[in-house]
Structure 1
């Protein structure tokens, strides 16, 4: 007797999380995303259907293949993926899982998705991003964009989050995560910095006094 996995019939689409790179078409008329591993060469829009990345004719997701969209159940685990050096400039997508899907312990593999929210990390300088700028790389027909604070990539083409959302052609919410450079220091940090500044000033005053004494002694010696 062959056992079958239980079938689910959710009343609302399941929610999942994944990382991706935002991209723009070469003519600047469309926006989308591209994956970080399997299927990374096929950018997708806000609403998209999965295809087999190996060119097979079966519908995704097939049980004997690893095709289809992939996502994780946990937002925290997905955010952790952006700590990997190769994925530092990736964004975090919150998606609605549509169509058929296969559930695993940590996530799902599924046929269709709608991107609802895009979490944009900080600029490479650490400050909160205010726009997307040309990342300097891309796929055939698409160029990747990355988070920018508005000052680090002034010489590159840039798009506001609103402009990117319009080009994506769907109801898309984009939020910028606060960078380390944008956080306000707490009271203890300010006190420590003031104490260090006072100590440095005292050492500078002592050093200046020694220099003045040495300069005065050198003048008297040269006058003899």
Structure 2
């Protein structure tokens, strides 16, 4: 395991264990934080996730006997989006209606995010990104994890603090271990990436993109322009 993979793994675990201590939800300047993190998240989706998904789909042409369409990975991504939306919608509905079973839905969401974390950690570790690229994409995913952690914390602070955050961190550990010890086939890696891309796209656009009343447009625009400019420059000069 490279030092880069080790540092990223520790970084991801620390985020879930200490998200509210690192960026306290009751003390941050909410409008600017939401706008900045939302801008980075949206930029990450458009300049990295979608192009990477297209590249993975293009590479499946080498497996013409197995995949005959030109949209298999997009279909898998759509399934990830659908599953995430279904779970999120069920939790929100149960919470709004005051169902006694709400906590069961909350744990269902925590369990899904632990699985989601495992797949993301596996993808990052298996890709063996290093150096500046590891820092850059690790920071983007880290901010995404902070948004996820804060969303779950707001829904049920007590349960998230006592148990939920450790469940999410365990997903990182499992994905970290699999990514550094087991090399899956390129097709399986593409399927995993497509699934988490769909879930990530919905999570970013639904939960991380600030609503009009919470938006600070200059901060949002600055985050998008700066992250996109740096990403494109690094891709151009280092052929990421």
Larger relative contact order, structure 1 or 2 (CA cutoff 8 Å, min sep 6): 2
Q: TM-score normalised by the shorter chain: which range applies?
A: under 0.3
Between structures 1 and 2, the one with greater helix share = 2
From the two aligned structures, give the one with the greater strand fraction: 1
